Amino acid sequence: MAASEQHYTPARPCFDKPVKLLIVVAPYYKDIADNLVAGASAETEAAGGSWELVEVPGALEVPTAIGISDRGSNFDGYVALGCVIRGETTHYETVCNDSSRAIQLLGLQGLCIGNGILTVENRKQAEVRADPEGQNKGGGAAAAALHLIALTRKWGARTKGIGFKPAGESYRIAGASDGSKTT
C-alpha cells in the first residue's frame, strides 16, 4: 500500500560550503543495509557533500556511535541506518523504541541526524523500503540530515557537547540580593 502513496519531498538544499556526513550503519541484514547505504551516499553526493561510513553491531549501537563521533569529529551531520524486523519476542519493541529515542535525544541537543533505521514486520517490507530505486529510505534519511544542516547553517552554529551546560557568569542565585553567587 505505501508504495502507491504519493509523498511530498522538499527540494534538495543548496550549500555555500560542502557538507560532510557520517553514515552509521548496523549491517545485521547486509543486503538491506547495503541498499540503505547506496541511497544515502547517492543523496549526499547529489547535494555536493562527502561522507564516511562506519559499521556498528546493531541498531542500539547506532546512536552511541553518533554521540562518540560528535564529541571527537568534525561532521556536519549523521545518517542512522539499519533494519529491525519483528521477531517472536518483545526485543523488537525495545530495539525500535530505544534506538529511535536515543537518536531523537541527540537531535534535540543540536545534532543533525536523518533516521533511516527501518522498523518493519517482515523482510519483504524492508527490501521495498531499502531499495534505492524504490522507496529509498536511505536516501530519505540523508536528505533529512541535509535539510537539518541547512537549517543549522541558516540559523546559527551548532553547539558541541552533550548533557548539561554549565551556567555562565550571568546567573543569579535566589536570595543573593547583591547579585553575588554562592555555591
Q: How many CB atoms lie within 10 A of CB 9?
A: 9
Q: How many CB atoms lie within 10 A of CB 105?
A: 13
8 in a structural domain: no
Question: Domain holding 147: CATH number?
Answer: 3.40.50.960
Could you confirm whether 91 is annotated as catalytic?
A: yes
132 in a structural domain: yes
Question: Structural domain tally of the chain?
Answer: 1
One-letter amino acid for residue 130 of the chain: A
Query: Lowest mean pLDDT: which of 70-74, 100-104, 144-148, 156-160?
Result: 156-160
| Helix, coil or strand: residue 152 | helix
73 in a structural domain: yes
Out of 71, 91, 123, 160, the active site residue is: 91
Range of the domain at 111: 19-155
Output the pLDDT for position 163.
Answer: 58
pLDDT in tens, 81-128: 999 999 999 899 999 999 999 999 999 999 999 999 999 999 999 999
DSSP state of 147: H
106 in a structural domain: yes
